[in-house]
Structure 1
Amino acid sequence: MIYFGKIDKKADKIFWKENLALRQISNNITYEDYNNDGIKDLLIFEDTGGRGGNSFYNLYLVNPKNHTLTKVGDFNKIVNPNYNKKYKVIVSYGLTGTNYYQLYKLNKKHIPYKIGKPFDDTEDLDLDKKIATILKNNNPKQQIKKIGN
């Protein structure tokens, strides 16, 4: 059980709690801004796949004004996520027979959706240029593809 609260001299207050099944490792909680609002969000390691090379996480967006955390649905299906501040996208890097990238954004309901198609990691790949090209060529009507589609 994960709790967020405040310990006070008069009384303890729990703002949020959730029951999560997690693999116990050290440093499995980090804080990173994933929705580009300047506030670090809560990233909790869940498990690995691909012989330990692929990591999966739960993401909770922090709202300090309301003292709430909003769980990002299906975020734990994004492999090795990283937030790219320059392009405001989540970059996934999957380690398989061929290593690949996939781009995501969060919609208004905080659900991740794919942007463009996955692309392979190659020796001559300019990742910055590739992300810029995908975003430039992305049609907003095509971008609402749920994870797994």
Structure 2
Amino acid sequence: MLTTDPNNRGFQIQEGEVRSRGVEVEGKVSPFAGLTLLANYTYTDAEVTKSNTNTLGNTPENTPEWMASLWGEYAFQQSDLDGLVLGGGMRSVGPSVNLADTVEVPTYTVFDAMIGYERNGWEVALNATNLFDREYFASCTYGCFYGDARTLIGTIGYEW
């Protein structure tokens, strides 16, 4: 872990330790042909256990206590829409703090979506992250930083 150099406050040195314990659970189910559902939950208990500054016992910066996500995807089967895939979901990140434990980044949730089409080796897809263009803080260190704005990514591929 990097901490402030006590001899030169403008620099950091590698000194400090963090203990991190937690659990991550993920599930995937396909209740019927074409539909896939995914869920994920992560819990992290992290603490600074050694430091040359006054951060002992604090939570490391940008380490949320929990994160969760849900995703659903449907691939149309045996119809005029065969090859079309629609998907959508959400990602939620619990609160985190800066290393000094003075600024809290609130919980945020963003939604994602995708549409794709596959036929005769060709695949075309459009993916959207932060679909509703929510403005949120993703982290705070020496300053606070916004999370990514809505992003659209299109792909075209051919498999032979």
TM-score by length of 1: 0.32
More helix per residue: 1
Considering fraction of residues, name the structure with more strand: 2
Higher relative contact order structure (alpha carbons within 8 Å, sequence separation ≥ 6): 2
Which of the pair has more CA radius of gyration?
A: 2
